[in-house]
Amino acid sequence: MQTAEMSCRYDLFDRGDGHIRVRFEGRMDAANAAFMVREIKDVLQARMPRSLTIDLQNVTYLDDFGALVLLEAKKMISDDVGHFSLENVGRDAQRILSVLNFDALGKKQVFSQKQRPNVFVRLGEGVLEHASDLKHMVSFVGSVCLSLLHVAVHPRSLRKDDLVLCMQRTGVDALPIVGLISFLLGLIMAFMSSVQLRQFGADIYVASLVSLAMTRELGPIMTAIIVAGRSGSAFAAEIATMKISEEVDALFTMGFDPTRFLVVPKVIAAVIVVPLLTLFSDVFAILGGLVVGMLTLDLTANAYMAQTIKTLTLFDVFLGVFKSAVFALLVSWVGCLRGFQVRGGAASVGRATTSAVVSGIFLIILFNSVFSVILRYWE
């Protein structure tokens, strides 16, 4: 005999011939089901009954949790030889047991067994997935090009309000972080190089190093990476959410080209503002270098700036700006692509966003290497 935490108890009669009677009393509901299931399993397991009779006469309330207790008790006797019966089942209890189809319950596995498929299946799946990814990418390149062409021919079809908003979000809002990071980068570069250059008395070349490295390489790369993190991810999340909530389909059926509607303003905005951000970043990095030059190397501001201007050619600046325009195109393109590739629910929006940033950064570095190789042979 046992009492559950609160409202349900049972008595057990064992005549010693393998026939067991259990009489439940009180409420059999969610509050005590877990306790009762464990109890009844323990007692019955010890006795291994051949037949089990459960008396529900004094049960005042029974819901599906109560039915679960009965079912777990039933499972304790072996199916083929054992005998299970319920006695004095009240009207309400009878109703719920029949609705639940009590006699047929408990035979099904409702949770999926998560099996990892073998290595060949996974390899094959991976290949197919990447192939379709590639196909999607190529067709998206095409559709973006077509849309851009269309906008070039019909400038009025460009959504100007969206464009301005995108320019603000991608450009203006990024100014503080780009400025800060570039300033600190200039500072660090000047510090590190001054230690080396001072040994040769070549202090003044700190200015050359900082300005050249920033305008040609680091400025465009850093700016593009920040834009990938801030805006590439935002583009992907926005489009992905629109896609899973059928907003993209709605645009399509209203006769809009989703690419032209959603992608073109973002790409154009990025291509306009990212080069400007890069110029901004160059200036701040040079300022960072200047601070170090004046404070630790005793250079005058005049000398530092003169050296900077002597080093930089217009070509260097243009190269940086051109590269950053290409990076902007890549980052915004891949952000939108990942957004359109989304399939499923909330989790896939997260994956699309991550993938937008990772692919964006990868493309930036890849194309930067390509530029380096081309320039090596061209100059």
Residue from 355, 140, 367, 353 nearest 262 by CA: 140
Task: Produce one character per residue of 112-151: b if its CB has 16 or more CB atoms within 10 Å, e if not.
Answer: eeeeeeeeeeeeeeeeeeeeeeeeeeeebeebbeebbebb
Which residue number, 109 or 302, has a Cβ lying nearer to another protein?
Answer: 109
Among 11, 14, 38, 375, binds another protein (CB under 8 A): 38
Binding-site member from 4, 8, 20, 33 for another protein (CB under 8 A): 33
| Residues numbered 81-140 forming contacts with another protein, rule: CB under 8 A | 92, 95-96, 99-101, 105-106, 108-112
Q: What's the min distance (Å) between Cβ of 71 and another protein?
A: 6
- State which residue, 16 or 345, has the beta carbon closest to another protein: 345
CB of 133 to another protein, least distance (A): 20
Label the pairing between strands 8-14 and 2-3: antiparallel
Number of amino acids touching another protein (CB under 8 A): 31
Stretch that binds another protein, among 18-26, 28-36, 259-267, 272-280 (CB under 8 A): 28-36
Choose, by CB under 8 A, the member of 13, 318, 344, 365 that binds another protein.
344
Min dist. Cβ of residue 109 to another protein (A):
7
Minimum separation from the CB atom of position 260 to another protein (A): 28
Binding of another protein by 46 (CB under 8 A): no
- Give least dist CB 130 to another protein, A: 23
Rounded to a whole number of angstroms, the minimum distance from the CB of residue 100 to another protein is 5
Stretch that binds another protein, among 11-19, 31-39, 187-195, 369-377 (CB under 8 A): 31-39
Find the part of the chain contacting another protein (CB under 8 A) among 18-26, 61-69, 258-266, 303-311.
61-69
Minimal distance, residue 247 CB to another protein, in Å: 15
Measured from the CB atom, the residue of 92 and 129 that comes closer to another protein is 92
User: Is the distance from CB of 32 to CB of 6 less than 8 angstroms?
Assistant: yes
Which is nearer to another protein, 95 or 135 (by Cβ)? 95
**Site membership for another protein, residue 67 (CB under 8 A):** yes
> In a 10 Å sphere around its CB, with 0-12 CB exposed, 13-18 middle and 19+ buried, how is residue 51 labelled?
middle
Note the residues at the interface with another protein (CB under 8 A). Answer: 29-30, 33-34, 37-38, 41, 63-65, 67-68, 71-72, 92, 95-96, 99-101, 105-106, 108-112, 344-347
